[in-house]
Amino acid sequence: MTTTSERAAGSRVRQASHHVSQSVFDGSRLRVVLLVDVNDGAQQEFLEAYEQLCNQVASVPGHVSDQLCQSIENPSQWLITSEWESAPPFLAWVNSEEHVQMVRPLHNCVRDTRSLRFHVVRETGGPADGPDAAQRRLQAAPRIGDGVIRHALTFTVKPGSEDVVAKILAEYASPEPKVDDSTRLCRTSLYMHGNRVVRAVEVRGDLLAALRHVARQPEVRAVEEAINPYLEQDRDLNDPESARVFFTRAALPAVHHVSAGNHDERAERAERAERHALYYPARPECGMRLAELLAHHDEAAADDPRNPVLRSTIFQRDDVVVRLVDMRGALEDADPARILGLSDPARTAELTTLLDDAADASADADPARLLELARMEFVTDRRAPDA
């Protein structure tokens, strides 16, 4: 668990620096907003599904409350808001198989949904720095953003098919980066670790609109169909429910991102940075804590001029933790402990105990060996012009 002192220290770092940062590990309250477009004539079915969902989610750790609202202008549009003690318990639930099964009845009666997640920064009832601020679990300082949304998908392919899949994924034609006047696909990076594939995307604008835009492109659809026979989890892209369940299970959300330096420095460094992906296999039920420790390391290291990592994004779901790093210089020339996030002795001991047995033993014996095991195989990295 993150302590109050750790959260306070993180707030002080943000107030004293100008680096871009996003994180689910602030400890502040979370507000989730779900916009729902209900099928014509399905309002009663929707209400029954919502009541069932409410009864189930009420017992989920970290859940505080929820509220259902109906539009006064268009009765087919609904708004569901929920409050959570913090982001990690919500993410643990929303990314679980339990959640996939819970929301099935809801999706049967809706045309479209859109989920938005917000940390509570200010609230009527007292100053943010007052004596009761910690109890109200608000952010002490807003973070600085860069207008980019980061998201990833992960899935596994049948053992023995890795080379074929890598070739298919490496040779696809890049889709048109412009989605609409406000949304643009900036970058897509693909890596593999054994039979696990990770596809990370960077988007300006509306992430959901960008993902739908990409899915409609013939060149992308052809690639998805080509790898279908090699997937460990079956899917039928012509069946909306099958596709939805697959991509729900494949979602690998970004839980932390930090870019060092000011805006001009970041722009200059981005042009000469090397991108690498590292895979941290966590013990069962330890993925969130492992990601949190890596996030604390990256946040503290962001203003260290000796730090070779210019940008770091941590993705986590269950026991899958992936860290995408943009760094100056070659990976082989860097200090393995710094690259891995093991340079803080106070947290390294705990972090290594959260890794699975093989990775834990390698970390104890030699960080260079762990870096070798964690390093993911590069498949392709596509940047849109002027991204």
Tens digits of residue pLDDT in 197-246: 999 999 999 988 898 888 888 888 899 999 999 999 988 888 888 888 88
* Bridge partners, 184 (sequence order): 178, 204
pLDDT score recorded for residue 343: 78
CA distance linking residue 61 with residue 50, whole number of Å: 19
> Cα torsion at 48, 241, 149, 144 (round to 10°)?
20
pLDDT of residue 326: 94
pLDDT at 351 over 50: yes
Position 137 in a domain = no
What percent of the chain is modeled with pLDDT above 70?
A: 86
Question: At 11, is the pLDDT very low, low, confident or very high (cuts 50, 70, 90)?
Answer: very low
pLDDT band (50, 70, 90) for residue 333: confident
Domain presence at residue 131: no
Q: Which amino acid is at 15?
A: Q
Q: What is the pLDDT of residues 127-146, one digit of tens each?
A: 555 555 445 577 777 888 89
pLDDT classification of 149: cutoffs 50, 70, 90: very high
Q: Are residues 214 and 298 in the same domain?
A: no
Q: Which tokens in the block code for residue 335? A: 């200090």
Percentage above 90 pLDDT, the chain: 52
Whole-model pTM? 0.88
How does pLDDT run across 284-310, given as a tens digit for each residue? 999 999 999 999 999 888 888 888 899
pLDDT at 14 over 70: no
Q: Give Cβ neighbours of residue 204 (< 8 Å, ≥ 6 apart).
A: 147, 148, 149, 183, 184, 186
Please answer whether residues 385 and 178 qualify as being in contact, where contact means their C-beta atoms are separated by less than 8 angstroms.
no
pLDDT of residue 358: 66
Residue at 134 is within a domain: no
CA distance 29 to 136: 8
pLDDT score, position 302:
85
Report the range of poorest mean pLDDT among 44-48, 100-104, 121-125, 155-159. Answer: 121-125
Boundaries of domain holding 292? 20-25+254-379
What is the pLDDT at residue 8? 42
Cβ of 323: how many Cβ atoms within 10 Å?
Answer: 26
Q: Please, which residues bridge with residue 156 across strands?
A: 196
Q: Is residue 2 part of a domain?
A: no
- Separate counts of helices (H) and strands (E) for the chain: 16, 13
Shared-domain flag, residues 116 and 230: no
288 and 190 in a common domain: no
Band the pLDDT of 9: cuts 50, 70, 90. very low
Domain stops at, among 103, 120, 137: 120
Checking if the pLDDT of 3 tops 70, the result is no
Weakest mean pLDDT among 14-28, 72-86, 293-307: 14-28
User: Which ranges in the chain belong to alpha helices (H)?
Assistant: 4-16, 43-57, 87-94, 97-102, 104-107, 133-136, 162-170, 207-216, 218-227, 240-250, 263-270, 287-301, 336-340, 345-354, 357-365, 367-374
Residue with tokens 């998201």: 151
Mean pLDDT of the chain: 86
Length of the chain: 387
Of 217, 252, 287, which marks where a domain is finished? 252
Which carries the bigger pLDDT value, residue 358 or residue 347? 347
What CATH number is given to the structural domain containing 62? 3.30.70.100
